[in-house]
Amino acid sequence: MKKLNKIESSAVPLPIENVDTDQIIPARFLKATDREGFGENLFRDWRFKADGTPLPDFVLNQETYSGEILLAGTNFGCGSSREHAAWALADYGFRVIVSSYFADIFRGNALNNGILPIQVEEEILQKLLAATSNNPQTSFRVNLEEQVLEAPELGIKVDFAIDDYKKMCLLNGYDDIDFLLSKKDEIQAFEKSRSH
């Protein structure tokens, strides 16, 4: 897994609420058997017409907006557990997603793929969305070590929460498999100890 600590970037605003993973990557693209290339079809049906021509109103088709940070409406990533959604976001180049609420499974999938989900108050999110929509160059600083998200031009600096273990994984590029394998003896002992 790719390490993550400091990110300095502009952001892409997506003020839509309840973005489900079917929108992030529609089911018809789940026939692939590897993890690569899903970025091409990220938000496919919001981004392109059925014939493949880009829909100019969608934010990813507007050149003024770019960056490694996605600002998204509340309850981001709800619905299907498909990790393909996290792969598509990562493949497209997003490293951080800021929202006021994340669906559980998506949050886990993001963390397992080197994407940092940052949860902020709804009020802060609305300020960030408005600022970025008005000025696409608005810059953001993320510092995972210190658990801080900052938008210097806006005078906004907020702390965010992350579990110590997951933070260590992201900072070092570790994943849970390494950790679980190191616990093999405990797992076997547990299996032996069970009465039902």
Partner 1 sequence: MSKTLFDKVWDAHVVDSVPNGPQILYIDKHLIHEVTSPQAFAELEQRGIPLYRPQQVVATADHNVPTLNQHLPIKDALSRKQVDLLSKNCENHGVTLYGLGHPYQGIVHVMAPELGITQPGMTMVCGDSHTSTHGAFGSIAFGIGTSQVAMVFASQCLLLNKPKKMRIKVDGDLNQGVTPKDVILYIIAQLGTNSGTGYFVEYAGSVFEQMSMEGRMTVCNMSIEMGARGGMIAPDQTTFDYVQGREFAPKGEEWEKKLAYWKSLPTEEGAEFDQEYSFDAADIEPMITYGTNPGMGIPLSGTIPDSGDQNFEKALNYMGFNPGQSLVDHPIDYVFIGSCTNSRIEDFRQAAAVVKGRQKSPAITAWIVPGSQQVAKQIKEEGLQDIFEAAGFAIRQSGCSACLGMNEDKIPSGAYCVSTSNRNFEGRQGQGARTLLASPLLAAQTAIEGKLTVINSLEPAL
Chain positions contacting partner 1, by CB under 8 A: 15-18, 20, 22-23, 26-28, 30-35, 45, 50, 73-75, 78-84, 86, 101-105, 108-109, 112-113, 163-166, 175-177, 179-181, 183-184, 186-187, 190-191, 196
- For partner 1, the closer of residues 50 and 53 by Cβ is 50
Six-digit token string for 127: 């300020």
- For partner 1, the closer of residues 88 and 151 by Cβ is 88
**Cα–Cα distances in Å, from 25 out to 37, 97, 106?**
12, 16, 13
- Closest contact distance (angstroms) between CB of 23 and partner 1 is 6
- For partner 1, the closer of residues 8 and 176 by Cβ is 176
β-strand pairing of 6-9 with 140-143: antiparallel
Question: What one-letter code names the amino acid at 163?
Answer: D
Write phi, then psi, for 188 (nearest 5 degrees). Answer: -65, -40
DSSP-derived secondary structure for 96-125: EEEES-B-HHHHHHHHTTT-EEEE--HHHH
- Closest contact distance (angstroms) between CB of 162 and partner 1 is 11
- Closest contact distance (angstroms) between CB of 138 and partner 1 is 21
- Closest contact distance (angstroms) between CB of 78 and partner 1 is 6
- For partner 1, the closer of residues 105 and 149 by Cβ is 105
Question: Quick one: which of 65, 71, 75 has its CA closest to 21?
Answer: 75
